[in-house]
Amino acid sequence: MQAVILVGGEGTRLRPLTSTVPKPVMPLVDRPFMAYMLEWLRGHGVEDVVFSMGYLSTAVRNVLGDGEAYGLRLRYVEEPEPRGTAGALKFAESLLDERFFMLNGDVLTDMDLTAQLAQHEATGARGTLALVPVDDPSQYGLVRLEDDNAVREFVEKPSSDQIDTNLISAGAYILERGVVDLIAPDQNVSIEREIWPQLVGGGLYGFAHPGAYWLDIGTPERYLQGTFDIIEGAVKTEVTERLGSDYVAIADGVTPEGRVVPPAVVERGCSVAAGAQVGSLVVLGDGVSIGADARIERSVVMQGAEIGESCVLRDCVVAAGVKIGARTQVTGGAVLGEGVTVGADNILTRGVRVFPHVEIPDGAIRF
């Protein structure tokens, strides 16, 4: 089976994390984000993956390579300019099989694609949309189904009196190649707004995944939530086995002097000084140093970051190479981009975003 993954976006909602690293290969716990999707697809019989790309595409190729590390064949096509979700698929037309998965490249999920494919084959569908239930359907476009799971209609941003289902599209589709013939070449075309309506009543079906995990990690808040869900085992991934029954993974050769509270991941070359506490719900990337008496909770600290003594990090993301001076607090959804330097005795909170390589002097910010 083949899959086409759309990864052409710039990841603007995740900046400053994506200012220097494209979202598909941004670190998520212990591997590039896209690795989770590739492992999930491989588990459902996918052998060939085509990436439809745009922003920082060379960096994605350099990290993922030809797919040998994932037991898959990976190929890449680059749009000359943004062409929308359907236009991107059309641009990859020469590589497509007669039947394939099409996926948005920003979702963390463990949906049962094998079951979705079985329904697709049984109904003789031209397209089958993965659907997931959500708590607040008013924020999404609803998908209404007939009794046989054929799509009856789409309702965008429904009012309260229009909500009679909680199923939304999950960005994972099974398509027959003939659907691509409906897409005009060399144009910006939306598959959601322009192609699906043409297929209603003509072979478009939905498949509900009511018990599946599904999360769009397109914001720092959701990035953190996805991290926590992975290390707590709320979503089925290969990380769960590494964490084991105590939900702690500390790399060989690392002996923390401070305390590590599960669930937590501490990678190679990390140091945790005496009196410091790491966790719960923390990931430390390779070579991170945590100073004496610092406290890190509900946070991601990426490769090579240096956290000074008596710092407090809570509900934040610290990118690679950041240096944080003593007694500084980074909390409340703050995000520090790659190579940022923050002096001592600062307070950064309330979702503040500091872009790459900015330098903040001692005591300059007390939000």
Tell me the catalytic residues: 157
DSSP readout, 87-149? Answer: HHHHHTGGG--SEEEEEETTEEE---HHHHHHHHHHHT-SEEEEEEE-S-GGGSEEEEE-TTS
Alpha carbons within 13 A on the beta-carbon side of 148: 9
CB 343 within 8 A of CB 328: yes
Question: Residue 274 burial by CB count (10 A; 0-12/13-18/19+): exposed, middle or buried?
Answer: exposed
Measured between alpha carbons, how far is 163 from 22 in angstroms, rounded to an integer? 36
Measured between alpha carbons, how far is 220 from 243 in angstroms, rounded to an integer? 23
Measured between alpha carbons, how far is 284 from 249 in angstroms, rounded to an integer? 10
Bridge partners (DSSP) of residue 301 are 284, 318
DSSP-based three-state secondary structure for 87: helix
Determine the residue type at 128: T
CB 294 within 8 A of CB 288: no
Question: Residue 164 burial by CB count (10 A; 0-12/13-18/19+): exposed, middle or buried?
Answer: exposed
Which residues have CB under 8 Å from 255's CB, separation 6+? Answer: none
Measured between alpha carbons, how far is 218 from 36 in angstroms, rounded to an integer? 15
- Cis bond leading into 220, ω under 30°? no
Question: Residue 198 burial by CB count (10 A; 0-12/13-18/19+): exposed, middle or buried?
Answer: exposed
